[in-house]
Amino acid sequence: MKIVIIGGGFAGINLAQELLNSKNIEVTLVDKNNYNFFSPLIYQVATAFLEPSSISYPFRKFFAGKKNLKFRLGELQKVIPSENKIVLNNGVLEYDYLVFATGAETSYFGMENVRKNAIPMKTLNDAIEMRNALLKNLEKAAICTNNAKRESLLTIVVVGGGPTGVEVSGMLAEMKRNIIAKEYPEFARSVGRIYLVDGGDALLAPMSKDSQRHTFEAVTKLGVTVQLNSQVVDYDGETVYFANGKSIRTKNLIWAAGITAKVFDGIPAESYGRGKRIITDKFNKVQSTNNIFAIGDTCIELSDPDFPNGHPQVAQVAIQQGLNLAENFKLMQRGKSLQPFKYNDKGSMAIIGKMKAVVDLPKPKLHFNGSFAWLIWLFIHLISLITYRNRFQTLYNWMVAYLSKDQALRMLIRPDKRAKQLES
């Protein structure tokens, strides 16, 4: 049985791991990057509290010595279902079963200027670009003599009141308080403002009312200006424009407002649903196909009565779908009936700042906030990292940052022209 997995995020890597040493199953994982990364912590790379290597690990090193697991660096160009083939940018692969685990990408809701000028927060590359952009603007502000321009360089607008938006705005607020004011005497007392804006009427909308209230109070206390019911309609690189006619001048717009799945050549149009997500049945088999599956953020299953609009696009769904599909592939080999996917909601959490977090548990229905929730968040995210090396490195950096209220990773590191030419 030849299984090809497209995408090595939470869904893809857990599916591959679960099939390790399975007899007569050969797995090839295809990804456009040569590494797996832990997306819930990319904002800490973006704000220079973690190194990229702390939350990432090379696929080939991870697969080394695993005889039935292979890695292929490449980007999917086309699927040919009638021939059980996929076309990559660097060759062709055959499969018996194909699995899409491609996750999702940033959605700008059709606003082209926002796409061109905002800083996204979805990939490890986005995090590095954000870190460089913020550090570069700090240095520009340090030598700027025009007060209005300096204020624009120092003002940061974070769009999106979900966990990513809350976490990055809280981290930036603590940097402003503990690091920037100390390291940049040029700014005197003015180090710009941080805005957290969302089109809805609450932060962390899917979480409990207690979490929403506590989060609003905590980020506001950190010095973040929260603007709810504020829908962005344009951003020209200088000014953020809102639907209510208001605007904010800034050179830093961080976009954490939405995601969308990807469309692939060769997959029937009727197989796509809301948000371009691939429609699957209860076994994660793609609608209108025979041997193609989809798991994680890229898929939507509408047959679960507990989630009639599809499962949430979160890591736990992707992990559980990967594990369930792996078990079903093993059952296929033995000629047994497949088991439908059933999501076990383990709760939601978000960190706001040092000793500040919120946690909601569904069974039993419990809410935590403050230092205890912060410790839960740290523990869960630490054990979720892919290797012991990642866990140790991340724990070390967290301890240094906690004890010193600082870190030493604020370097501007950018590829030179020759490196960019090699990429092309």
Angle value at C-alpha 52, between 48 and 56, nearest 5 degrees: 145
Is residue 170 within 8 A of residue 222, CB to CB? The reply is yes
Residue 337 CA from chain centroid, whole number: 34
- Encoded tokens for 107: 């959605």
CB contact set of 372 (below 8 Å; sequence gap of 6+): none
Burial (CB < 10 A; 0-12, 13-18, 19+), residue 91, is exposed
Residues 406 and 133: their CA atoms lie apart, in Å, by 20
**Does the annotation count 167 as an active-site position?**
yes
Q: Parallel, antiparallel, or unpaired: how do β-strands 259-260 and 252-255 relate?
A: unpaired
Residues 235 and 119: their CA atoms lie apart, in Å, by 11
Is residue 8 within 8 A of residue 31, CB to CB? The reply is yes
Check 26, 129, 151, 167 and give the catalytic one.
167
Residues paired with residue 35 on neighbouring β-strands, in sequence order: 58
Q: Which of 54, 56, 52 is nearest to 8 (CA)?
A: 56
Amino acid in the structure at residue 275: G
Residues 106 and 255: their CA atoms lie apart, in Å, by 8
Residues 383 and 388: their CA atoms lie apart, in Å, by 9
Separation in Å, CA 192 to CA 61, 146, 156, 398? 43, 14, 8, 26
Angle value at C-alpha 319, between 316 and 321, nearest 5 degrees: 105
**Active-site residue numbers?**
167
